[in-house]
A and B are shown apart, each in its own frame.
Chain A
Amino acid sequence: MRAPSQTGGPRGGHTPDEALTAFLSRYDGLRAQLPGSATTRDAAAAVLREHGWPTPRDEAWHYTNIRPLAGLEFHESLADTDMGARLIGLLPAVVGPRLIFVDGRFCAELSVLPRDIEIGSFAGEGVFGTLARPARDRLVALNTMLAEDGAVIDVPAGFDGGFLMLAQLTSGRQQRVGSHPRHRVRLGAGARLVLLEVSAGEGEYLNNPVIEIEVAERAHLTHGRLQQDSPQAFHLGTVYADVAAEGVYDGFSLALGARLGRTEIHARLGGPEAAVHLNAAQIMGGTQLSDFTTAIAHDAPNCASRQTVKSVLTGKARAVFQGRIEVARIAQKTDGYQMNQALLLSPDAEINSKPELEIYADDVKCSHGATVGALDPEQLFYLRSRGIPADAARMMLVRAFLTDAFEAVSHEGLRAVFEHAVEGWWNTTGQNAEVSPS
């Protein structure tokens, strides 16, 4: 366990570090120009001024210390279109409508608007959603303070919005950029959408997106998230999803990039027979750290939540999975399932896993489990006995572990994107990684 951050200090008595000082002074400079309620922004700034960054003393941040970020100054972007055109090559090659944000700002030249869905922007509308909790979640406070733009996606009731890619490209090549996109997605009653959210970039930067999602009655959102930020980047993203009766939020997050990445998802099942899937895979090597932290609130009866989180770790990589399930007294007949599986391919890799079940209803079914292991020598021998050389056999088993994770992705197009991304990871990073025989 690492020593607690020295920048943390007792609550309210912290000393602002370089990063925080720079962010706060950027806010002071931009305050008059930023869209949306100044009261909301000022409140967010006050939270950061008073409490500073979360530290390992905060329970929710026990395993992930963002201290490496604290000594760095992040700047406002000097984005230009040429840069966006270059970065777009980092995105998965999918056909169809796409909303491209470069350094947190919408880039119309690179985007292809969907025909039938209403797309607005945070810059244009200046409306913060009601789901985010900046007073509690300090990286969301940072986003709230500095957000300049973001997508506002509205799928009308009863309408199938098809497939849409939402991409966040960031460049830290010229200077260290902090990007804070603020998105909103709303599905009307019975509406459907498949949303692929992608983060990618180059150089050293912070991508700090917040996305607020409202799924109305009987609506169905498939939300794929592909985090392949640059190896020097920080990714600190938060998703809030609120699901009404019989609605479905089906999320799958794949994290491959960033030196330090955290995805935090707060999902609420707000009406009977709603369903939430928060599946994820984290594939990390070197000294990367990836954190997948979720909180699922069952606030209505007869709801189901499903989570399978798989991590593949090589080198000295570390992964965190914190999964909290809260079942309110009213949420009878809740069906909750949570599984954490990690494949540690080197003796120095580490997984920290913390399931948390808080159940106030008496008629519920909630299960959770975890498996951590190396490659199975029985399986290796079986493959080798069929003539498959040891290295190829190991490769097959690692890929099999991941393939299995993607079975949770029911949308074929999304699954193909994830499989392709893992293929790319394997070809560049994975096959060179030190994989212990067993």
Chain B
Amino acid sequence: MLEIRGLTATIDDKEILKGIDLTIPEGEIHAVMGPNGAGKSTLSYVLSGREGYEVTGGTATFFGQDILAMEPEERAAAGLFLAFQYPVELPGVGNANFLRTALNSIRRARGEPELDAVQFLKLARASVKALAMSEDMLKRNVNVGFSGGEKKRNEVLQMAVLKPKLAILDETDSGLDIDALRIVADGVNAQRGPHFSALVITHYQRLLDYIVPDRVHILAAGRIVRSGGPELAKELEAHGYAGLVGEPAEAA
């Protein structure tokens, strides 16, 4: 479903991704772990189409489509979703209005009928409830005045409403206490199924206790240096990145 081959990318002429090879089959959850500066966030931004990143080589296809050639909104319509590490505040934009506009934009792009206000509210309320969020969050401005945990939950709410085929979770665990982490993980696990895949980017093994991945990849210095099953995350927990990456940590 997602196939990345030899992907290289630069920011300000500095090469960050140095040839990524990664395949995520439909229905699987893969984790990408790695030390700071390995290129984890760059990978998520390149896949979702953020400006400022230049793809210098390689390919990334999503259900056979070249996603790197698509606009960010086209990628979303194709079924790609990025849960931001730092969700953006939108003063003056109501959360419900934002979600509905997003959902209907995607539905329109796919040639599906749009949801009216009543249909949407029903869906949104159910999703809010499932995430143990207060309904008040739908009325508030997007992420404005949200705590760190509320922002991350709001990302998962958007994922639940937009129902992507592939969700990229960019360090969604950062800044979460254990309760919030559990809620976020439950939200992701609820999406699990034959047509949902996820790329879980994280620095720590902790999140993977709750979202158990099918595969774990270690990203270091712009390359996938090791891949394995969930046990790889445990190994990482026990020995740190240094042992796995094959170079002493202080050399970084």
Interface residues of A (CB under 8 A from B): 377-379, 381-390, 392-393, 396-397, 399-404
A387 and B88 alpha carbons, distance in the complex (Å): 15
- Chain B 160-175 near chain A by CB (<8 Å), digits 1 or 0: 0010000000000000
B90 engages A389 (CB within 8 Å):
no
Instruction: Say whether A386 contacts B158, CB under 8 Å.
Output: yes
B130 at the interface (CB under 8 A from A): no
Q: Given the complex of chains A and B, what is the CA–CA distance between A384 and B82 in angstroms?
A: 11
- The reply to whether A385 and B82 form a contact with Cβ atoms under 8 Å apart is yes
CA A387 to CA B102, docked complex, whole Å: 5
Asked whether A399 lies within 8 Å of B92 as measured between CB atoms, the reply is yes
A401→B92 contact, CB < 8 A: yes
Are A390 and B73 interface neighbours, CB within 8 A?
Answer: yes
Most buried by B among A382, A390, A400: A382
Contacting pair B101 A389 (CB below 8 A):
no
Nearest 7 A/B pairs, CB to CB: A400-B92, A387-B76, A386-B102, A387-B106, A404-B92, A382-B88, A384-B72
**Closest B residue to A398 using CB positions:** B92
Interface of A is mostly: helix
- Cβ–Cβ < 8 Å partners of B51 in chain A: 377, 381
How many angstroms from the CA of A322 to the CA of B109 in the assembled complex? 46
A396 touches B49 (CB 8 A): no
Contact of B105 with A402 in the complex, beta carbons under 8 Å = no
Q: Are A387 and B84 in touch, CB under 8 angstroms?
A: no
Name the distance in Å between B227's Cβ and chain A's nearest Cβ.
27
Interface pair A389/B92, CB less than 8 Å apart:
no
Given A396-B101, A400-B93, are A384 and B76 neighbors across the interface (CB < 8 Å)? yes
Q: Which residue of A lies closest to B143 (CB)?
A: A382
B71 interface residue (CB < 8 Å to A): yes
Does A387 contact B73, Cβ atoms closer than 8 Å? yes
B100 to chain A, nearest CB (A): 11
- Interface residue total, chain B, C-beta cutoff 8 A: 28
A381 touches B72 (CB 8 A): yes
Contact B92 A386 (CB under 8 A): no
Is the beta-carbon distance between A389 and B88 smaller than 8 angstroms? no
> Please, how many angstroms separate the alpha-carbon atoms of A1 and B72 in the complex?
41
Residues of B within 8 A of A381 (CB): 50-51, 72, 88
Q: Does A386 contact B76, Cβ atoms closer than 8 Å?
A: yes
- Residues of A near B88 (CB, < 8 A) are 378-379, 381-382
Residues of B close to A400: CB separation below 8 A: 90-93
**Which residue, of A388, A390, A402, has the highest number of chain B Cβ atoms within 10 A?**
A388
Bitwise, B92-107 to A at CB < 8 A (1) or not (0) is 1100001001110110
CB distance from B59 to the nearest CB of A (A): 21
Closest to B103 in A: A387
Select B71's contact among A377, A390, A399, beta carbons within 8 Å: A390
Q: In the complex, are the beta carbons of B105 and A389 less than 8 A apart?
A: yes
Q: Which of A382, A388, A393, A403 contacts B92 (CB 8 A)?
A: A403
**In-complex Cβ contact of B73 among A388, A399, A403 (8 A):** A388
Residues of B within 8 A of A387 (CB): 73, 76-77, 102-103, 105-106, 109, 162
User: Bound complex: CA of A385 vs CA of B76, how far in Å?
Assistant: 6
The answer to whether B48 has its CB under 8 Å from any CB of chain A is yes
Chain A residues contacting B162 (CB-CB under 8 Å) are 386-387
Report the bound CA distance from A382 to B49 in whole Å.
11
A384 CA / B77 CA spacing, docked (Å): 10
Q: How far is the CA of A252 from the CA of B48 in the complex (A)?
A: 42
For B49, the chain A residues whose CB sits under 8 A away are 384-385
Q: Which chain B residues in 39-84 approach chain A with CB under 8 Å?
A: 48-51, 71-73, 75-77, 81-82, 84
Residue ID in chain B nearest A401 by CB atoms: B92
Say how far B178's CB is from chain A's closest CB, in angstroms.
Answer: 27
Chain A residues near B77 (CB, 8 Å)? 387
A-B residue pairs in contact (CB < 8 Å), sample of 23:
A381-B50, A381-B51, A382-B84, A382-B88, A385-B48, A385-B49, A385-B72, A385-B82, A387-B73, A387-B105, A387-B162, A389-B105, A392-B105, A396-B93, A396-B98, A396-B101, A397-B90, A399-B92, A400-B91, A400-B92, A400-B93, A403-B92, A403-B93
Contacts of B71 in A (CB 8 A): 384, 389-390
Residue in A closest to B101 when the chains form the complex, CB atoms: A388
CB distance from A313 to the nearest CB of B (A): 17
Complex CA distance for A148 and B116, rounded to whole angstroms: 53
Complex: chain B residue closest to A376, CB-CB: B88
| Complex Cα–Cα for A229 and B89 (A) | 35
Q: Across the two chains, which residue of chain A brings its CB closest to B97?
A: A396
- Name the A residues within 8 Å of B105 (CB-CB): 386-389, 392
Which residues of B have CB within 8 Å of A377? 51
Min CB distance A233 to B, Å, is: 29
Rounded to whole angstroms, the CA-CA distance of A381 and B102 in the bound complex is 13
Residues of B within 8 A of A401 (CB): 92
0/1 string, B127-154, CB within 8 A of A gives 1: 0000000000000000000000000000
Contact between A389 and B73 (Cβ–Cβ < 8 Å)?
A: yes
CB distance from B139 to the nearest CB of A (A): 13
A382 touches B90 (CB 8 A): yes
Residues from chain A with a CB closer than 8 A to the CB of B82 are 385
- Residues on the A chain within 8 Å of B106, using CB: 386-387
Chain B hits for A386, CB < 8 A: 76, 98, 102, 105-106, 158, 162
Give every chain A residue within 8 A of B103 (Cβ-Cβ).
Answer: 387
- Whether the Cβ atoms of A402 and B92 lie closer than 8 Å is yes
With CB as the reference atom, state the residue of chain A lying closest to B110. A387
Q: Mark B104-121, 1 if CB is under 8 A from A, else 0.
A: 011001000000000000
A379 touches B48 (CB 8 A): no
- Complex Cα spacing A388 to B92, Å: 16
Give me 6 other A-B pairs in contact (C-beta within 8 A), A385-B84, A387-B105, A392-B101 excluded: A385-B76, A386-B102, A386-B106, A387-B77, A387-B106, A387-B109
Q: How far is the CB of B152 from chain A (nearest CB, A)?
A: 14
Q: How far is the CA of A387 from the CA of B71 in the complex (A)?
A: 9
Give B76's nearest chain A residue, CB to CB: A387
Shortest distance between the CB of A431 and any CB in chain B (Å): 15
